[in-house]
Amino acid sequence: MLKSKTFLKKTRAGGVMKIVREHYLRDDIGCGAPGCAACGGAHGGPALEPLPQDPASSLWPRPHYLLPDTNVLLHQIDVLEDPAIRNVIVLQTVLQEVRNRSAPVYKRIRDVTNNQEKHFYTFTNEHHRETYVEQEQGENANDRNDRAIRVAAKWYNEHLKKMSAENQLQVIFITNDRKNKEKAVEEGIPAFTCEEYVKSLTANPELIDRLACLSEEGKEIESGKIIFSEHLPLSKLQQGIKSGIYLQGTFRASRENYLEATVWIHGDTEENKEIILQGLKHLNRAVHEDIVAVELFPKSQWVAPSSVVLQDEGQNEDDVEKEEEREQMLKTAVNEKMLKPTGRVVGIIKRNWRPYCGMLSKSDIKESRRHLFTPADKRIPRIRIETRQASTLEGRRIIVAIDGWPRNSRYPNGHFVKNLGDVGEKETETEVLLLEHDVPHQPFSQAVLSFLPKMPWSITEKDMKNREDLRHLCVCSVDPPGCTDIDDALHCRELKNGNLEVGVHIADVSHFIRPGNALDQESARRGTTVYLCEKRIDMVPELLSSNLCSLRCNVDRLAFSCIWEMNHNAEILKTRFTKSVINSKASLTYAEAQMRIDSATVNDDITISLRGLNKLAKILKKGRIEKGALTLSSPEIRFHMDSETHDPIDLQTKELRETNSMVEEFMLLANISVAKKIHEEFSEHALLRKHPAPPPSNYEILVKAAKSKNLEIKTDTAKSLAQSLDQAESPAFPYLNTLLRILATRCMMQAVYFCSGMDNDFHHYGLASPIYTHFTSPIRRYADIIVHRLLAVAIGADCTYPELTDKHKLADICKNLNFRHKMAQYAQRASVAFHTQLFFKSKGIVSEEAYILFVRKNAIVVLIPKYGLEGTVFFEEKDKPKPHLIYDDEIPSLKIEGIVFHVFDKVKVKIMLDSSNLQHQKIRMALVEPQIPGISIPTDSSNADLNEPEKKKKKLEK
């Protein structure tokens, strides 16, 4: 049966176009119940159970199926995902509405319907002859959809009667909409709210905890005192943004101070790019990453970013007077230069809430069901939840979702989602840091794995098409020990004309991952491989990453080669790119390669090749540095693991050899050569990488710190910065230069991927290169796969596809890649922090030399070179007399009881693990030397004396 919808649409040119949509109605769509004679098994895929054996409901003890409406699906997805809830009919009407309103919930509901054990059935009611309803005159879309859901529920009940008169199998309609429920009951459909139904499942009391609390009445605090001003409605916000009264931006909470946040304003305006918000009322219930509308204050009310470190430790949930007292601490006398644009949140444009990991802070009130949940991410406020299993959840990592934030509540309301496991356990903590940094880490699905080559795999004649056979070359790879995903290999040989031929051979991953299939989509979503201390979350399945794409020695592998002809001064005479087949002659570690180069007795082909590469790399590096490339420093840590327990038994900073630099030089050269080639060929849609020059204000801290040691750092160009860093030596203080380079790293901007047609500034500041991209690591970076595809099209080795030459699609890919790379970096640092804690847990208390990196108002941030470890030493403690502190921002310096601390001063600190707060176990540092009465601790003090539960700051603002 055919229905048609006709409507008129105005065209861009101003004409009117008549559009006719055909809508087919069928009568062969199955109801999903097995054994239904009327449908005759017309349904395919996952189906309902013939006799649901679900937990008995005290409201409806007989067997039944559930049919939820759109809002139940949107807001109670955590309940629906619970194993106890099965046999659910998901209507097409509901699914389409969910898809339009929330992509994450839509993905979750698709995953549940694909899970055979859950028996969720999608019923295509919009195309079924008996359940399709037309929109009536004067009826809005919402009411029409509500009616369509009721019609489907009613049809199901009549349909199921025919199937089993004796079983009395029925469909229960679940809705939280009062009017819709009343209408359903009038029409003879059994209907309950989600809460009523869940509470009736007496065998599963834990399900109640997973209910999202949506009705804010009754959940609000008894005090009823209004704390926050009302959020303006969206229509007013949009008008205000249009007229310039309000500004729209992304809300970024502070890790160090819960009463302060910044809003990054959207758009191209240079002025007021960043607006500061201070104080609970001005933050007005915005949560980290929300899109908000802010009102800018007049200049007379502008404030300076606070240097105070404040953590929300209040036990009394609604002690707002205390908050106001703490807010006064933020206000400090500052000079005009320090003032920044300041404002307040007037409304929320889009909430970006996600499920949060953390721990329960159990209420002191006996038998209380209401407790506070403290998220692991310090930027997220605490969340009030109701749970009956508080005693079981204490000391465990749990996941909680936010439901709403009433005006008279100090904290948002939420509900319990999942128990992850005991705090401090390696598996639990790894799961937490992957979830918190949004790292996709589920096993690859069957759909993805189905696109892998069938084993045993070998190179066929078809594979050799458009490929050069380079198996005769003496190629070898140099990597860190234990590396199984080998992306790159090198060769160097002398040509008959006396010049040198140098080749960089990169795994040809794009041969195996074809555009648009499930494997490609999953790799694009993941964006990068994430390396944790003892775990690797692969971007591509292991068969590719550690086997077929990995350039292991003595096996034939497909590669993409970049080959140069150079003279002995490392000047490039010719460059060519080709798809190839190679056979690596050796897989070496950096140390093994170094030993070969240094050993006078070893003179085989591989070693001669390595020596040639090393000689050229030194010349290339010298040339790069002369152009102004920066050599910065960051303390990288390597753990030595116990082979049995996998706990860290030793911790040291990574040692870099000449061979590290050798490989790096040729990778940089290949990346630059490829960037030039793809940009030549595709000026509008080349995927490139740039590193913006930092604004001069970023360097203030570095310049001031150097000045305090009578050194001058010039920052007008990258070259002058590189030269002044080279000259900033102090014979009496050899480590000073490394400290300056570490500090210079902190001043840098983040390097980002971008599409050449969407930007005109290509320059890479840190490498002093006018153009750059990523080509050399396609096993672990999706950007390189796109670059491989572009290069393959440029040299005629592969065909193009529409998305590759669509600059808007490419810009979207870049946006996701930049986010994934940033999150991977943060997850790696969190993993290092956790393993450092494990190390000091077993090590006990140690005293080490440290250098001051930053001076704060009430603390110093120090770096311990031996462990590459950074931490904060606080000088103000709860319940202790406050010392006399004088902070000078200009120098910068901090004076305590007559002793002055400057950046780069050497101090001695005591390091220990503080487990007083299970959630944020942290490395605590206390000052040993210089000795300050009442602040320093004696060297031989025991753990009992160290009662300063202060926070270790995890610096993520690189």
d(CA 511, CA 785): 10
Is there a contact between 872 and 949 (Cβ–Cβ < 8 Å)?
Answer: no
In terms of Cα–Cα distance, which of 700, 736, 727, 730 is closest to 715? 700
Same domain for 736 and 699: yes
Same domain for 816 and 746: yes
Percent of the chain with pLDDT over 90: 26
Is there a contact between 597 and 610 (Cβ–Cβ < 8 Å)?
Answer: yes
Sign of the torsion formed by the C-alpha atoms of 268, 274, 280 and 282 = negative
Question: Could you tell me the end-to-end alpha-carbon distance of the chain, in angstroms, rounded to an integer?
Answer: 62
d(CA 412, CA 287): 10
Same domain for 698 and 759: yes
Mean pLDDT of 416-436: 86
What's the token pair of residue 749? Answer: 């901007």
Most confident region among 118-132, 356-370, 890-904, 907-921 by mean pLDDT: 118-132
Same domain for 115 and 230: no
Q: Map 618-684 to HEC letters.
A: HHHHHHHHHHCCCCCCCCCEEEEECCCCCCEEEEEECCCCHHHHHHHHHHHHHHHHHHHHHHHHCCC
Please report which confidence band the pLDDT of residue 947 belongs to, taking 50, 70 and 90 as the band edges. very low
Most confident region among 75-79, 270-274, 569-573 by mean pLDDT: 569-573
Predicted confidence (pLDDT) at residue 602 exceeds the cutoff of 70: yes
The string of pLDDT tens digits covering residues 429-452 is: 888 889 888 899 889 988 889 999
Q: Is 699 a member of any domain?
A: yes
Strand partners, 687: 755
The string of pLDDT tens digits covering residues 298-347 is: 888 888 777 666 666 654 545 555 556 666 655 555 556 678 888 999 99
Predicted confidence (pLDDT) at residue 174 exceeds the cutoff of 80: yes
Please, what is the average pLDDT of the chain? 82
Q: For residue 743, what pLDDT is reported? A: 81
In terms of Cα–Cα distance, which of 848, 850, 853 is closest to 708? 853
Predicted confidence (pLDDT) at residue 216 exceeds the cutoff of 50: no
Q: Is 1 a member of any domain?
A: no
The string of pLDDT tens digits covering residues 682-702 is: 989 899 999 988 888 888 888
Q: Is 432 a member of any domain?
A: no
d(CA 79, CA 196): 13
Please report which confidence band the pLDDT of residue 957 belongs to, taking 50, 70 and 90 as the band edges. very low
Select from 172, 189, 211 the last residue of a domain. Answer: 211
Mean pLDDT of 627-653: 63
Residue 197: strand, helix, or coil: helix
- Find the domain containing 536 and state its range: 447-634
Q: For residue 221, what pLDDT is reported? A: 43
Predicted confidence (pLDDT) at residue 652 exceeds the cutoff of 60: no
Predicted confidence (pLDDT) at residue 217 exceeds the cutoff of 50: no
The string of pLDDT tens digits covering residues 89-123 is: 999 999 999 888 888 888 888 888 888 888 888 88
d(CA 695, CA 693): 7
Same domain for 746 and 673: yes
Residue 415: strand, helix, or coil: strand
In terms of Cα–Cα distance, which of 143, 196, 164 is closest to 34? 164
| Amino acid found at 732 | A
Mean pLDDT of 10-15: 76
Q: How many CB atoms lie within 10 A of CB 61?
A: 9
Residue with tokens 């389409």: 96
Select from 359, 389, 422 the last residue of a domain. Answer: 422
* Residue 832: its H or E element: helix 807-843
Is there a contact between 607 and 596 (Cβ–Cβ < 8 Å)?
Answer: yes
Respond yes or no on whether the N-terminal peptide bond of residue 892 is cis (omega within 30° of 0): yes
What's the number of domains the chain is made of?
5
Q: For residue 126, what pLDDT is reported? A: 86
Mean pLDDT of 919-939: 72
Most confident region among 37-41, 223-227, 716-720 by mean pLDDT: 716-720
Q: For residue 862, what pLDDT is reported? A: 87
Predicted confidence (pLDDT) at residue 883 exceeds the cutoff of 70: yes
Same domain for 400 and 284: yes
Is there a contact between 792 and 560 (Cβ–Cβ < 8 Å)?
Answer: yes
Predicted confidence (pLDDT) at residue 220 exceeds the cutoff of 50: no
- pTM value is 0.77
* Residue 192: its H or E element: strand 191-192
Angle at the Cα of 86 from the Cα atoms of 82 and 90, rounded to 5 degrees: 105
Q: For residue 272, what pLDDT is reported? A: 62
Same domain for 367 and 491: no
Q: Is 48 a member of any domain?
A: yes
Is there a contact between 103 and 73 (Cβ–Cβ < 8 Å)?
Answer: no
Q: Is 435 a member of any domain?
A: no
The string of pLDDT tens digits covering residues 727-779 is: 877 777 778 777 888 888 888 888 999 999 888 888 888 888 999 999 999 99
- 65, HSE (Cβ side, Cα atoms, 13 Å): 32
* CATH (domain of 128): 3.40.50.1010
What's the token pair of residue 479? Answer: 């990597």
Please report which confidence band the pLDDT of residue 551 belongs to, taking 50, 70 and 90 as the band edges. very high
Please report which confidence band the pLDDT of residue 468 belongs to, taking 50, 70 and 90 as the band edges. very high
What's the token pair of residue 463? Answer: 């594979």
In terms of Cα–Cα distance, which of 658, 489, 488, 666 is closest to 572? 666
Same domain for 334 and 400: yes
Torsion, CA 341, CA 342, CA 348, CA 353, rounded to 10: 90
Q: Is 439 a member of any domain?
A: no
Q: For residue 268, what pLDDT is reported? A: 63
d(CA 780, CA 537): 10
Same domain for 168 and 240: no
* Residue 782: its H or E element: helix 782-794
Phi then psi dihedrals of residue 88, to 5 deg: -115, 135
The string of pLDDT tens digits covering residues 127-153 is: 888 888 888 888 888 888 999 999 999
Select from 211, 246, 261 the last residue of a domain. Answer: 211
Q: Is 16 a member of any domain?
A: no
The string of pLDDT tens digits covering residues 886-897 is: 877 777 888 877
The string of pLDDT tens digits covering residues 364-388 is: 676 677 888 888 888 899 998 888 7
Predicted confidence (pLDDT) at residue 530 exceeds the cutoff of 60: yes
Q: For residue 7, what pLDDT is reported? A: 65
Residue with tokens 């360097």: 699
Is there a contact between 787 and 506 (Cβ–Cβ < 8 Å)?
Answer: no
Predicted confidence (pLDDT) at residue 792 exceeds the cutoff of 90: yes
Q: Is 17 a member of any domain?
A: no
Same domain for 179 and 126: yes
Please report which confidence band the pLDDT of residue 814 belongs to, taking 50, 70 and 90 as the band edges. very high
324 or 160, higher pLDDT: 160
Same domain for 76 and 88: yes
Please report which confidence band the pLDDT of residue 805 belongs to, taking 50, 70 and 90 as the band edges. confident
Please report which confidence band the pLDDT of residue 939 belongs to, taking 50, 70 and 90 as the band edges. low
Q: How many CB atoms lie within 10 A of CB 487?
A: 25
d(CA 549, CA 558): 7
Same domain for 938 and 864: yes
